Amino acid sequence: MSTHVTDRASGTERGNGDKPGKQKFGLVLQGGGALGAYEAGAVEYLYERGMECAIVTGASAGAMNAAALAGATQYPPRVLRELWEKLAVDGPVPFLPGIPVPFLPQWMTRLWFSYIPSLVVPGMYRPRLDVWNLPDWTYVAKPTMGKTLEDLVDWDQVRDPRHMRLTVSASGVEDGTVAYFTNIPADRLPRPLQPEYQPVRFGLEHVLASGSFPGGFPWTTIRDRAYWDGGLTDNTPLKPILDNLTEDEAASMPIFMIDVNVAAAPRPDSMYGVSQRMLELLVSNRLRSDLDTAASYTRFISVLKQVDEQLPSDAPVRKEQEWDEVMGYHHVRRIHMIDMKKPAGDSAGDFSRQSILRRISAGYDQTRAALETAVPF
């Protein structure tokens, strides 16, 4: 059991630090803008339960969380909470908190208390001001996340896969393919090396590439290639987890997929609702298919292992290179999808402090509730 005792109101920690022998887990963190605060709450509960992350993947905001988790020099949940408190913004009129104004229509109240303060999120981005170049714009805001992460993250620790294996997804602007930037060395990646894997000296630019949402931020150039947000091609990067587990980890280590988006929601009744629903569908693009693929993958591997036991030792197929590769696959037994149960109207663009703190608390509570009745896929 963990010796940490966390004060959830302040995000501080009491106790004598990490102890060896903790239950390791894998973590898949989705993108979703300000909805990434749910993931901070989920991580807080997992660590409070006495667990420790061994391998993490992320897309967009999930990539930012993943890098902060891997590079945390203090108790990781405290670092994640501090990150989101730096990203939170206060209302446009500081002495007027988020109190509903009865004579304003709902859309105007939402605009005033949620989106006006989110036009500028100093810890993440600032709007462009060169309006004279407007016809040539390909993005509207400049990222400022670098300074926020630099204050919280030890990049040498991020680059060390022995501390934590880290992979983030990004999308090629020109070819539309997914790229997985990883701190895992090339000789430890699956063989033959798949083209989407890019072992790198992991840094801020890879987090920025994963979070370069089209139109919002400029694409990020790495090795002469332009990249946009990882959520466009893989917003739930489960594959880099499945590909990079040891046999023992595949058999016993729990893998948690944190779902911050809404797969099902009522029909929208306004243009605002249409835009929000479109974004939800975009960023939840591969979750269900990934879960189905993982289930099929584990059944396939289970059958192959049985076939291997029954095949004669001199069977010709055993001489094939492909057979050796397939026998290297592992049966992953403990995959859990944790639904944050995000309200349909909860916007990825709402960085107001009240909403950020609510999501951290909800992420903690939903993860606790899910694990009390957890049944692996």
Least confident of 29-33, 251-255, 261-265: 261-265
CA angle 198, 203, 209 (to 5 degrees): 65
| Model confidence pLDDT, tens digit, residues 117-173 | 566 788 998 999 999 999 999 999 999 999 999 989 999 999 999 999 999 999 999
**Average pLDDT over every residue of 229-258:** 91
With CA atoms as reference, report the closest residue to 207 among 358, 58, 64, 318: 64
pLDDT of res. 315? 81
Measured between alpha carbons, how far is 51 from 26 in angstroms, rounded to an integer? Answer: 10
Q: How many helices (H) and strands (E) does the chain have?
A: 14, 13
Over range 99-108, report the average pLDDT.
57
pLDDT tops 90 at residue 107: no
240 compared with 104, residue with greater pLDDT: 240
What phi and psi values does residue 368 have, to the nearest 5 degrees?
A: -60, -45
- For the question of whether the overall pTM of this predicted structure is more than 0.75, the answer is yes
pLDDT score for 87: 95
**CA trace torsion 165, 339, 349, 177 (10° rounding):** 50
Percent of the residues in the chain that have a pLDDT greater than 90, as a whole number: 52
Mean model confidence pLDDT for the chain: 83
More confident residue, 349 or 202: 202
Per-residue pLDDT tens over the stretch 204-223: 999 999 999 999 999 999 99
The pLDDT tens digits of the residues spanning 331-356 come to: 666 888 899 998 877 888 889 899 99
Please determine, for residue 242, whether its predicted confidence score (pLDDT) is greater than 80: yes
HSE (side-chain half, CA atoms, 13 Å) at 134: 4
Residue with tokens 């993982």, as numbered in its chain: 294
Cα dihedral sign, 216-218-222-225: positive
Residue 336 makes CB contacts below 8 A (sequence gap 6+) with 254, 255, 256, 257, 370, 371, 374, 376, 377
* pLDDT score recorded for residue 337: 87
pLDDT at 100: 54
Query: 286 vs 1, which has greater pLDDT?
Result: 286
Look at residues 377, 234, 231 and name the one whose alpha carbon lies nearest to residue 292: 377
Q: Give the tens place of pLDDT for each residue, 291-337.
A: 666 666 666 667 776 777 788 888 888 777 777 666 666 666 688 88
**Mean pLDDT value across residues 222-234:** 95
